[in-house]
Amino acid sequence: MRKKALITGASRGIGEAAAQSLAKEGYDLFLICKSSEEKIKKLGNELEEAHGICCQTAICDVSDASQVETMIRQAGEIHVLINNAAISYVGLLTDMSLEQWHQVMNTNLNALFYLCRLVVPQMVRRREGKIVNVSSVWGKVGASMEVAYSTAKGGVNSFTKALAKELAPSNVQVNGVAFGVIDTDMNVCFSKEDMEALREEIPADRIGTAVEAGEMIRQIINAPSYMTGQIITMDGGWI
């Protein structure tokens, strides 16, 4: 029986790239996104045809615990969980509404709890499983004008390290990857001038690609089981 990976935020960017990378390796997939139903179904069909895998898709707002519970009942056995879905807010903290703050926290951090508390029991029962949480360099050093996002990603890092210790005796590995600037739709709010200024700060002299990010996630999944509780940074030497 092939192993199945569940990927949130899978209709585009890093999530889509991770799906492509794992499909090539023969994983069955359960792909989740919040609203792009047509796009994610198209991706699932393409991956099935290209790689001979089974790819299920579902619309689910991972910031909503009840929707997550319904989705997990549909998903069945999950061997790999990739918590990738995220949103950002760029602006002064004092300009944020309570609703905007809670939405960032629910999507970027609380969703990890909603998903892990339902998926972890089956991994513990099998004494096998991999969880990869997608984080950011801002979770390590913080970013002006992105206080909520930085706070949530800092929480992702702590969540990862703590859960890894909790699950290590059950042979379930939990790791995170803190990405720097990756060329995805999350950066569309920045001007070409802003992106060029960012590029000039990066020693690698370029913006990272989603394909590279997806490949890094695959490599973390394939790492030896003794690697757990780690936050791997991939940022071109930036931070």
Could you state, in chain order, the average pLDDT of each consecutive group of 10 residues for the chain (239 residues)?
95 98 98 97 98 98 98 97 97 98 98 98 98 98 97 98 98 98 86 90 96 98 98 97
Domain that holds residue 194: 4-234
Domain at 154, CATH number: 3.40.50.720
Q: What is the pLDDT of residue 185?
A: 84
Return the active site residues: 149
110 inside domain: yes
228 inside domain: yes
201 inside domain: yes
Q: What is the pLDDT of residue 190?
A: 81
Q: What is the pLDDT of residue 186?
A: 81
Task: Count how many domains the chain has.
Answer: 1
What is the model's pTM? 0.96
User: Can you give the chain as a three-state secondary structure string?
Assistant: CCCEEEECCCCCHHHHHHHHHHHHCCCEEEEEECCCHHHHHHHHHHHHHHHCCCEEEEECCCCCHHHHHHHHHHHCCCCEEEECCCCCCCCCHHHCCHHHHHHHHHHHHHHHHHHHHHHHHHHHHHCCEEEEEEEECHHHHCCCCCHHHHHHHHHHHHHHHHHHHHHHHHCEEEEEEEECCECCHHHCCCCHHHHHHHHHHCCCCCCECHHHHHHHHHHHHCCCCCCCCCEEEECCCCC
44 inside domain: yes
239 inside domain: no
Q: What is the pLDDT of residue 191?
A: 85
